[in-house]
Amino acid sequence: QSTNLKQHLLTHAKIRSHQPFAIPAVAVTITEIQPQY
């Protein structure tokens, strides 16, 4: 699960890397995913 989570975050980071709010977006993603684990 940890590996999948990292891959998921990396994918989002790449997609949003050109956006100024990339880090907050990843933070929101982490917040949304955490309860599932």
**Would you state the pLDDT for residue 13?**
67
pLDDT of residue 11: 75
- Nearest residue to 26 (alpha-carbon basis) of 18, 8, 36: 8
Q: What is the pLDDT of residues 1-37, one digit of tens each?
A: 577 878 877 776 666 555 555 566 666 666 666 665 4
Per-residue tokens: 26:
């990843």
- Taking the C-alpha atoms of residue 29 and residue 22, their distance in angstroms, rounded to an integer, is 11
Residue 25 neighbours by CB distance under 10 Å: 15
The pTM of this model reads 0.30
